[in-house]
Structure 1
Amino acid sequence: MSSRPQPHRARKRFGQNFLRDPGIISRIVRAIAPREEDRLIEIGPGQGALTEPLLEAAGHLEVIELDRDLIPGLRVQFFRYPGFVIHEGDALKMDYAALKGEGPGLRVVGNLPYNVATPLIIRLMESGAAIADMHFMLQQEVVERLAASPGGAQWGRLSVMAQYHCRVESLFTVPPEAFVPRPKVDSAIVRLTPHAELPCVAEDENLLFDVVREAFGQRRKTLRNNLKGRLSSTAWEQLSIDPGRRPQTLTVEEYVRIANFLARESS
């Protein structure tokens, strides 16, 4: 008797698009390069397209799946693997530090639904030392924003937040025909590796991200306008930053400098 699950209809409310292309799957697994000693976590395994080669390579894998209808099929499909563990629930609500426990940092992978990708990545980045690295399939536009450089059209809040926490590498694109059903946009694979030591340290990270949010509130306006409630002309001079610049021209280091100045001013 076959151990394969019955076909499952992709659900719009979960943003499901199931990866089918074996060449793309193989390329993703090579990029992840799973090892036996890794603590691998797959978010949203779906019908197991990535799950099987990851299990074959590492011998064990934990998955987080929200769609209860998929879980019985996954249990049947991978019952021969004693190292296969299912965490039933919402990856957005998972406590990754608790999941890590005393073990090695988590290597997190997944084909993320577009509707939850950004908040989930932010939650993982905020989990700090719990995460060793992340490999995600995302909408190509999101990957471009994550990996953008200052001064470009894609540089924004998500770029600053991601690159404050992580080294970001855009690996390769994935066409719509690699999925069932076909999405309307191209996808891409991104690698996010948390910095062992932050290149620049914010004294108050919440304040940093408040400043970044306000700065990018109106991209066409200057820093002087967007941050007028926070910084005076004298303060801009002390920071050696021209308040006539647009928010997308500042580096992560410059945003951290602004936030640290405000943190010291309020202490």
Structure 2
Amino acid sequence: MSKQRLVHPAFAQQVIERHGFSLKKQLGQNFLIDANILGKIIDAAAVSSEEGVLEIGPGIGTLTQELAEHAGQVVAIEKDDRLISVLFDTLQTYSNVHVEHGDVLDVDLKQIFATWFQGRKVSVVANLPYYITTPIVMRLLEERLPLHSIVVMVQKEVAERMAAKPGGKDYGALSIAVQYYTRPAIVCKVPPSAFMPPPNVESTVIQLQVLSKPSVHLKDEALFFQVVKASFAQRRKTLVNNLLHTPFLTLTKEQIQDILAAVHIDLRQRGETLSLQDFANLSNTIYNYKQHL
């Protein structure tokens, strides 16, 4: 079978019709059919024949085909059992592709890495299902997988939150979590017309360069993320008020004020004004304070 590219809409439509496949909106199935955008994703991923790629939600295999042309090994995780036979059809000419049937939130990712990517530098490249983008990205990062980079297509607003800087409306707990583990950069915006069928939202490709070690030093990582979450619990409230009403801290208002003063944070500040380093200083100081109570 010749390697016909699924990025051509007519061929993609033929494949869908041949398999009698119907799209499920609840699974976020919108297939990329824009060769220009596909090229930008491949360029941003910059994978070589010596490297491995993990793809999540390959759909009918449009991006998978292009990745297979560049990478040494591709593993594509697909949840929808109806697509497994489609992928067998569209990817059968590629010997360097393995399709894993399962939910990326449930499969043993470390085992997949050990089985398929030994000795290879690995990147994640994917058009993520928008309804579970954040849980997927956070699982990839929190498991401390040996990843080089993550290049993903996500909803525009989510990409903007991941890359946001302190002080803006997009800056929040997701910004801090992503920037703790990675260095984010927007690659390009993607119009709905780049998909079949067109989604109701705008999309963005974002690159997350995974850091060799977290961007800030923490004495207690769990405490850090609890403090971050609490600080954004009610965005219009000051840090003092948000932290005061956080059960896990069990600190008085006076104690919180003392801690904020120790790290040179104004008592009127809100969470959205603090940098990643500010949050690290705050959580480390809270940790030290609680050790001496």
TM-score class, shorter = over 0.9
Distance 1:108 1:121 in 2: 10
In structure 1, C-alpha distance between the alignment counterparts of 2:55 and 2:30, rounded to whole Å: 15
The aligned counterpart of 2:64 is 51
One-letter amino acid matched to 1:258: L
Which of 8, 13, 37 matches 1:24? 37
Of residues 251-260 and 101-110 in structure 1, the stretch that sits farther from structure 2 once superposed is 101-110
State the identity as a percent: 37
| CA displacement at 1:196 relative to structure 2 | 1.5
**1:179–1:202 Cα change, 3 Å:** same
The answer to whether 1:203 aligns with 2:219 is: yes
Q: How does 1:44-123 map to 2 (within 5 A)?
A: 44-101=57-114, 102-123=118-139
CA–CA separation in structure 1 for the residues paired with 2:85 and 2:145: 32
Tell me if structure 2 keeps the 8 A contact 1:137–1:187: yes
Alignment of 1:87-166 (within 5 A): 87-101=100-114, 102-166=118-182
- Which is worse superposed, 109-118 or 255-264? 255-264
Give the match's secondary structure for 1:69. helix
- Give how far 1:129 is off: 4.3
The reply to whether residue 183 of structure 1 matches residue 199 of structure 2 is yes
Q: Give the residue type in structure 2 aligned to 1:212.
A: V
Which whole-Å CA distance do the structure 2 matches of 1:243 and 1:217 have between them?
A: 17
For the 8 Å contact 1:171–1:188, the answer to whether it is kept is yes
Q: Residue 256 of structure 1 aligns to which amino acid in structure 2?
A: A
Deviates most, 228-237 or 109-118? 228-237
Shift of 1:207: 1.1
Q: Deviations over 1:39-60 (max 9, x none)?
A: 1111110011111111112253
Q: Quick one: distance in 2 between partners of 1:125 and 1:106?
A: 13
TM-score by length of 1: 0.94
2:288 corresponding residue in structure 1: 264
Rg larger in 1 or in 2? 2
CA displacement at 1:143 relative to structure 2: 0.3
Note the C-alpha offset of 1:122: 0.7
Q: Is the 8 A contact 1:171 1:190 kept in 2?
A: yes
The Cα RMSD (Å) is 1.7
Identify which of 230, 235, 250 aligns with 2:274: 250
What do the CA deviations read for 1:23-70 (whole angstroms, capped 9, x no partner)? Answer: 211221122122111111111100111111111122531100000001
* CA shift digits 1:131-169 (9 cap, x unpaired): 221000000000000000101111001001110111001
TM-score of the two chains, using structure 2 as the length reference? 0.86
Q: Is the 8 A contact 2:235 2:272 kept in 1?
A: yes
Aligned pairs (5 A) from 1:226-237: 226-229=242-245, 230=249, 231-237=255-261
Whole-angstrom CA distance in 2 between matches of 1:250 and 1:240 = 11
Counterpart contact for 2:172–2:272, Cα < 8 Å: yes
Amino acid at match of 1:159: S
For 2:53, give the aligned amino acid: L
CA contact (8 A) 2:243 2:256 kept: no
Structure 2 residue identity aligned to 1:233: Q
Unaligned stretches of 5+ residues in structure 1? none
* Unaligned residue ranges in structure 2 (runs of 5+): 5-13, 250-254
* SS at structure 1 position matched to 2:131: coil
SS at match of 1:73: helix
Q: Find the aligned partners of 1:182 and 1:199 in 2 and give their Cα distance.
A: 37
Q: Is the 8 A contact 1:10 1:18 kept in 2?
A: no
Deviations 1:177-222 (A, max 9, x none): 0011111111000011121233311222111111111100000110
- Please, which of 234, 245, 252 is the counterpart of residue 218 of structure 1? 234
